[in-house]
Amino acid sequence: MALLVMKFGGTSVADAERMREVADHVARTRRHGDDVVLVVSAMGKETDELLRIAEEVSAVRPGREMDMLITAGERKAMALVCMALNNIGIPAESFTGSQAGFLTDTNHMNAKIVEVRPDRVRASLESGLVPVVGGAQGVSTDRDVTFLGRGGSDTTAVALAHALGADACELYTDVPGVFSADPRVVPKARRMARISFDEMLEMNACGCPKPVMRSVEFARTWRVPLHVRSSFTWEQGTWVVEEDPTMEQAIVSAVVHDVSEAKVTIAGVPDTPGVAARVFRALADRGVNVDMIVQNVSEHGVTDISFTAPRADLEASVDVTRALADEIGATGITTDPTIARVSLVGAGMKSNPGVAATMFETLATAGVNIEMISTSAIRISCVVAESSVETAVQSLHTAFGLDARPE
């Protein structure tokens, strides 16, 4: 008998029919002998809708009221899911984040969990009920309702699984798991049966949006096994777990791409101590989230520095670097908003030489020019032109033997 925390995303509780399917799945799981705690997101696109209405109503939107508003979405969903459970004879009761013991800081719209004291949830389980907890919410140290931020329901689920000592945290969504590449770009992408926390975090950082990075970080810290799976097919999905050193690691597990960044190049910078420090301090002070940085070998005492940052930060990046250009003696600033980053992720890279060589050869053969390169122990990323990203991803997926075999 296991204790499972099951989190259902917006599409999984989008309407009455989906909620009834969730209830049926809970019934099957209980018949199998397992205990279940549910965490639910707001129905469908409700969170977006609430944010939109707020914008329409007022230009002044105090954080306290925004959190009260947004968390109402999950509150609605949790009550309805309880009713769907009651309807098929499963006793269930709902809990707001506050009732479920989620204590947070006072940072509205993006609160951090300070402590989880799930006494009421535990008592509910012990009396044979199915507790249904509203995701992404808590109560602050100032006793106000707080929202944990977009995608915060995953975090709620992982934190609750940890606090209850659950055996696993299942994240139900509308896709059947984590794929070896974006299936929209690579039709032969495969669902992975299993991936390590570290690989998942690298994939998150390189453009794979789900499961939400913050929840994966928590899961890794607390060693909570995650199971990402579909509430449409109910089939086995992808387990995100601790690396098993006794198992052979795939050299490359996935090819991830991201088209959300832009590149800025500062040309003709004097190669003297302190220049990079000034540039990147100024960018940090403006809140620019810099990703890759490349400094060229200097020639005659001058060099070029390029970096990438989210496209949304491009304007701020240009402002900051233009303002500094004269001071640091740079000759010009150029930008390229149409770049893409292609990354290989795989735990087995650590102990296998030649991955970078094969990656570069594959891109060369495909006629894709590499603009920047960065690596970690289990990742290699290349910046390429956005127009060549699909070719790059597809050719790498094939070259590293990841294509699904025809059935």
Enumerate binding residues for Mg ion (CB under 5 A). Answer: 10, 41
CB of 134 to ligand ASP, least distance (A): 10
CB of 170 to ligand ASP, least distance (A): 15
**Residue among 150, 188, 194, 311 that touches ligand ASP (CB under 6 A):** 150
Which residue's CB is nearer to ligand ASP, number 163 or number 349?
A: 163
- 258 strand-pairing partners: 341
Token pair recorded at residue 274: 């302190």
Which residue's CB is nearer to Mg ion, number 162 or number 210?
A: 210
Q: Smallest Cα–Cα separation from 283: which of 264, 296, 304, 303?
A: 264
Footprint on residues 380-399 left by ligand ASP (CB under 6 A): none
**Residue among 118, 131, 135, 138 that touches ligand ASP (CB under 6 A):** 135
Give the start-end residues of each E strand in 141-260. 145-147, 168-173, 194-196, 226-230, 238-241, 254-258
Contact partner at residue 152 from Mg ion, ligand ASP, none, CB < 5 to 8 Å by partner kind: ligand ASP
CA 166, 172, 177, 182 dihedral sign is: negative
CB of 41 to Mg ion, least distance (A): 4
Which residue's CB is nearer to Mg ion, number 3 or number 72?
A: 72
CB 158 within 8 A of CB 4: no
How many whole angstroms separate alpha carbon 271 and alpha carbon 296? 10
Length of the chain: 407
Which residues 6+ apart lie within 8 Å of 107 measured at CB?
A: 146
How many whole angstroms separate alpha carbon 196 and alpha carbon 220? 9
**Residue among 5, 23, 133, 136 that touches ligand ASP (CB under 6 A):** 136
Q: Interface with ligand ASP includes 42 (CB under 6 A)? A: yes
CB of 174 to ligand ASP, least distance (A): 12
Which residue's CB is nearer to ligand ASP, number 66 or number 267?
A: 66
**Residue among 4, 5, 6, 10 that touches ligand ASP (CB under 6 A):** 10
Q: Interface with ligand ASP includes 44 (CB under 6 A)? A: no
String marking each residue 52-91 x if it binds ligand ASP according to CB under 6 A? ---------------------x------------------
CB 38 within 8 A of CB 133: yes
**Residue among 97, 101, 138, 152 that touches ligand ASP (CB under 6 A):** 152
How many whole angstroms separate alpha carbon 176 and alpha carbon 192? 10
Other beta carbons within 10 angstroms of residue 70's beta carbon come to 27
Token pair recorded at residue 175: 């896709």
Chain residues binding ligand ASP by CB under 6 A are 9-10, 41-42, 47, 73, 135-136, 150-154
